[in-house]
């Protein structure tokens, strides 16, 4: 494991819809460092420097111990020297440099420098230079962390501190025996009379940490995983949404795409969904709305390809009475209906240029005017847009505004076509089969292996929607208990891919066929047998590769 693996976004989990942030199973708050500094000042003034120092040591020890138990579970044992400094950095206390480590496993001897310590900085800022080291929270954290990590009584001591005028803080960590006469005083700082007290504290904290981990893992119905809490939470949400939406996904890449959608749902930024027709854009848009903070507000959809320019304009922006022939009363547009909800602009690539300019203004200023009115109405929907067109190409062709494109594409989700996620075809076919047979009250239990082979190889230009229609067609036509090849729509069963794609040929196909023909002296029957394909397929392939005499 290296430093990059410990990226902050993997460890910190933001859940704004619950008003919570988690860090290694523990809830976190973002407080300014000056709040931290002022608490310390107040504490020091109230109880004196000695007691304030102890309070910080103990708080740090608690936290460090917990973080160590969690990190151990996540990163494996003895990742400590790499993980602990990174955690201190992630939490923003200081930049840690481990200077030396004793190799003897029965001892603990670590020297480390802390640069840019927030405790030192705040002390100097609020109370000026100090005569003694002040970074007590970090000493406590290091002591607790190392003790849990090594299962050994360990204490850190600051020997040089930036609050005393040094450039940085220097610390030494030692096992109990190494501290000699100082040990009793160190234990006292943490409220320990003897090693028995230390052990009792450890046992209690380990139980507590284990319970927390268990509780969190149960929440995400996942266990023993090395994945981060954030990943687990998002994946759990994605799975639930897929289940509820009866969406079928078998490919990890597709799951990742849906995870992205769940992540971006919580932001307020526009999302552009790209994908061929029938790839599930509507499902994705619903998913984003349902996972967003606006889920209780309206999700308003409009298909930009389905209306003329003037109708689309009045649909989007509304109109006043008498604005045009047929406008018999004032009517609010979809922008107003979506007000604090989500506005989904389907087939955005088909929107006329004139309307694109108005849409851009509405998005940028959050203001619209109804057709026939000068009154400005404030609106703030979240924008989701979808298209099966190549918007870049439309921009080049002068049919789509680049500035609108930049507004909409702050986050783009590309849905793959069904032919790129064929693993989902069998479960999808089975799901549709169940849906259709129960609707038609017809008993067709399965798809025959040969028919399934056809479904697996057909290129599916209409994607999931086309597959659903194909199953519907087959159920209507089927006379037996299962769907056979002859029950499938003509374009699917007659698709040349169906036969050809099952062959162990593809790369260098032409060469293989030519060689086999040569080996068999041009005997096509023998060649077809050798290649394990039918005569008609061989003939078609020969024709396609220009191998016909
Ligand atoms: Zn310091």
Nearest 5 degrees, angle CA 218-CA 239-CA 475? 140
How does 356-387 read in b/e, with b if 16+ C-beta sit within 10 Å? bebbbebbeeeebbbbbbeeebebebbbbbbb
Which tokens go with 414?
Answer: 């590309």
Give residue 497 CA to ligand 1 midpoint distance, Å: 71
According to DSSP, residue 378 is labeled: E
Residue among 305, 307, 313, 263 at smallest CA distance from 284: 263
* Mean of pLDDT over the chain: 84
On the question of pLDDT at 2 being above 60, the answer is: no
What distance in Å separates the CA atoms of residue 187 and residue 198, rounded to the nearest whole number? 8
What distance in Å separates the CA atoms of residue 539 and residue 525, rounded to the nearest whole number? 10
Give residue 137 CA to ligand 1 midpoint distance, Å: 10
Give residue 138 CA to ligand 1 midpoint distance, Å: 8
pLDDT value, residue 538: 82
On the question of pLDDT at 196 being above 70, the answer is: yes
Which tokens go with 51?
Answer: 């007691």
Positive or negative torsion for Cα 165, 170, 174, 178: negative
Which tokens go with 435?
Answer: 């849906």
For 533-545, the DSSP string reads: --HHHHHHHHHHT
On the question of pLDDT at 269 being above 50, the answer is: yes
Per-residue pLDDT, averaged over 393-400, amounts to 93
* Phi, psi (degrees; rounded to nearest 5) at 21: -125, 140
Q: What is the pLDDT of residues 218-244, one digit of tens each?
A: 554 433 344 445 567 778 888 888 888
Give residue 472 CA to ligand 1 midpoint distance, Å: 72
Is-contact 63 148, C-beta < 8 A? no
Q: Which of 101-110, 134-143, 322-331, 416-425 has the highest mean pLDDT?
A: 134-143
Per-residue pLDDT, averaged over 524-536, amounts to 78
Per-residue pLDDT, averaged over 291-312, amounts to 91
Distance of CA 93 to the CA centre of its chain: 28
What distance in Å separates the CA atoms of residue 91 and residue 31, rounded to the nearest whole number? 11
With cut-offs at 50, 70 and 90, classify the pLDDT of residue 159.
Answer: very high
What distance in Å separates the CA atoms of residue 393 and residue 75, rounded to the nearest whole number? 46
Q: What is the pLDDT of residues 251-267, one digit of tens each?
A: 778 888 888 888 788 77
Give residue 53 CA to ligand 1 midpoint distance, Å: 12
Per-residue pLDDT, averaged over 58-74, amounts to 86
**190 SS3 class:** coil
Per-residue pLDDT, averaged over 283-290, amounts to 92
Give residue 133 CA to ligand 1 midpoint distance, Å: 5
pLDDT value, residue 219: 54
Q: How far is CA 296 from CA 28, 240, 300, in A?
A: 27, 18, 12
Is-contact 524 538, C-beta < 8 A? yes
Is-contact 190 157, C-beta < 8 A? no
On the question of pLDDT at 488 being above 60, the answer is: yes
Give residue 141 CA to ligand 1 midpoint distance, Å: 13
pLDDT value, residue 220: 47
Give residue 493 CA to ligand 1 midpoint distance, Å: 76
Which region, left, alpha or beta, applies to residue 437 given φ > 0 means left and ψ of -120 to 50 means alpha? alpha
Q: What is the pLDDT of residues 68-90, one digit of tens each?
A: 888 777 666 555 666 777 777 77
On the question of pLDDT at 7 being above 80, the answer is: no
Window from 39-53, 199-213, 280-294 with minimum mean pLDDT:
199-213
Give residue 484 CA to ligand 1 midpoint distance, Å: 77
- Partner residues linked to 274 by β-bridges: 387, 414
Is-contact 247 432, C-beta < 8 A? no
With cut-offs at 50, 70 and 90, classify the pLDDT of residue 15.
Answer: confident
Q: Which domains does the chain have, with CATH numbers?
A: 31-192 (3.30.1380.20), 230-416 (3.40.50.300), 419-544 (1.10.8.60)
- Partner residues linked to 413 by β-bridges: 273
With cut-offs at 50, 70 and 90, classify the pLDDT of residue 512.
Answer: confident
Which tokens go with 438?
Answer: 């129960």
Per-residue pLDDT, averaged over 465-475, amounts to 92
Three-state SS letters, 452-479: HHHHHHCCCCCHHHHHHHHHHHHHHHCC
């Amino acid at each position: 494991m290296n430093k990059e693996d410990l990226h902050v976004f993997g460890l910190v989990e933001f859940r704004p819809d619950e008003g919570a942030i988690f860090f290694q199973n523990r809830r976190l708050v973002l407080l300014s460092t000056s709040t931290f500094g002022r608490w310390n000042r107040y504490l020091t003034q109230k109880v004196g420097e000695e007691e304030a120092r102890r309070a910080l040591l103990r708080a740090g020890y608690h936290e460090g111990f917990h973080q160590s138990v969690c990190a151990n579970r996540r990163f494996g044992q003895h990742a400590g020297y790499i993980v602990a400094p990174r955690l201190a950095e992630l939490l923003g206390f200081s930049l840690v440099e481990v200077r030396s480590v004793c190799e003897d496993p029965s001892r603990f001897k670590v020297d480390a420098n802390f640069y840019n310590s927030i405790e030192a900085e705040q002390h100097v800022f609020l109370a000026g230079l100090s005569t003694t080291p002040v970074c007590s929270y970090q000493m406590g954290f290091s002591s607790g962390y190392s003790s849990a990590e090594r299962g050994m009584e360990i204490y850190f001591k600051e020997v040089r501190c930036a609050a005393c005028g040094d450039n940085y803080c220097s610390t030494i960590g030692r096992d109990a025996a190494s501290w000699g006469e100082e040990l009793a005083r160190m234990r006292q700082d943490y409220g320990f009379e003897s090693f028995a007290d230390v052990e009792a504290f450890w046992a209690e904290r380990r139980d507590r940490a284990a319970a927390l981990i268990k509780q969190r893992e149960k929440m995400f119905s996942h266990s023993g995983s090395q994945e981060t809490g954030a990943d687990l939470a998002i994946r759990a949400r994605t799975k639930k949404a897929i289940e509820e939406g009866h969406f079928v996904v078998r490919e990890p890449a597709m799951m990742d795409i849906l995870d992205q959608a769940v992540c971006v749902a919580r932001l307020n930024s526009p999302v552009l969904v790209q994908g061929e027709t029938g790839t599930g854009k509507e499902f994705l848009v619903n998913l984003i709305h349902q996972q967003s903070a606006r889920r209780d507000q309206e999700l308003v959809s409009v298909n930009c390809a389905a209306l003329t320019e003037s109708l689309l304009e009045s649909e989007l922006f509304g109109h006043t009475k008498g604005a045009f022939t047929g406008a018999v009363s004032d009517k609010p547009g979809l922008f107003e209906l979506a007000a604090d909800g989500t506005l989904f602009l389907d087939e955005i690539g088909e929107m006329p240029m004139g309307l694109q300019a108005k849409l851009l203004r509405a998005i940028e200023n959050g203001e619209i005017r109804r057709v026939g009115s000068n009154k400005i109405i404030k609106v703030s929907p979240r924008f989701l847009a979808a298209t099966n067109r190549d918007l870049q190409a439309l921009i080049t062709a002068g049919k789509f505004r680049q500035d609108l494109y930049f507004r909409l594409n702050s986050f783009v989700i590309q849905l793959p076509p069904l032919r790129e996620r064929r693993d989902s075809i069998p479960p999808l076919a089975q799901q549709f089969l169940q849906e259709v047979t129960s609707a038609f009250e017809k008993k067709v239990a399965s798809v025959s292996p040969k028919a399934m082979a056809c479904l697996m190889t057909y290129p599916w230009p209409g994607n999931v929607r086309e597959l659903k229609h194909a199953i519907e067609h087959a159920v209507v036509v089927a006379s037996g208990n299962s769907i056979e090849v002859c029950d499938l729509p003509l374009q699917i069963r007659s698709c040349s891919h169906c036969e050809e794609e099952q062959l162990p040929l593809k790369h260098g196909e032409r060469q293989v066929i030519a060689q086999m023909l040569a080996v068999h002296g041009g005997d096509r029957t023998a060649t077809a047998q050798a290649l394990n394909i039918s005569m008609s397929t061989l003939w078609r392939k020969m024709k396609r590769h220009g191998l016909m005499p």
